[in-house]
Amino acid sequence: VLIIDPVAHHSSVLPFRELALKYPLSRITRSRAVSGSFVKRFSGDKSADVEVELVTLPLDPVKGTASVDGLEAVLKKVMSFNRHHHDFAVPVVVLSASSNVTGARLD
């Protein structure tokens, strides 16, 4: 599960979006996705042993950065998913130190 910052620079996010397109979830059901935010039917090489789900964090409207509460909620969903499916979804979090658009800094 790739968890990305909503204000991350395009060049930081693009490689992960391409990964999600190349290795999307193979089983399209609400129960198989942690969030369902970026899911596409698997049509590539079926021998791949990697599936990628992309989750964009919500924006904190006050600070203009990634929502810490949103991050906590997504991480809890990943833990719950792993418990209920006896699976091992690994969360990878990509955060920006600051936005190149707004100048807001994540602290």
Give the model confidence (pLDDT) of 75-96 as tens digits: 999 998 888 877 788 899 988 8
With CA atoms as reference, report the closest residue to 70 among 54, 57, 86. Answer: 57
| Integer-rounded Cα radius of gyration of the chain | 14
Q: Where are the alpha helices (DSSP H) in 1-107?
A: 10-22, 68-85
**Which two structure tokens, joined as six digits, stand for 41?**
């039917």
**Which two structure tokens, joined as six digits, stand for 88?**
């091992």
Residue listed under structure tokens 């920006």: 96
Give the model confidence (pLDDT) of 1-55 as tens digits: 889 988 888 888 888 888 878 777 665 454 556 665 544 444 455 555 677 788 8
In this predicted structure, what is the pLDDT of residue 42?
Answer: 43
Assess contact for 70 and 57: CB atoms under 8 A. yes
In this predicted structure, what is the pLDDT of residue 47?
Answer: 54
Q: Evaluate if pTM is beyond 0.75.
A: no
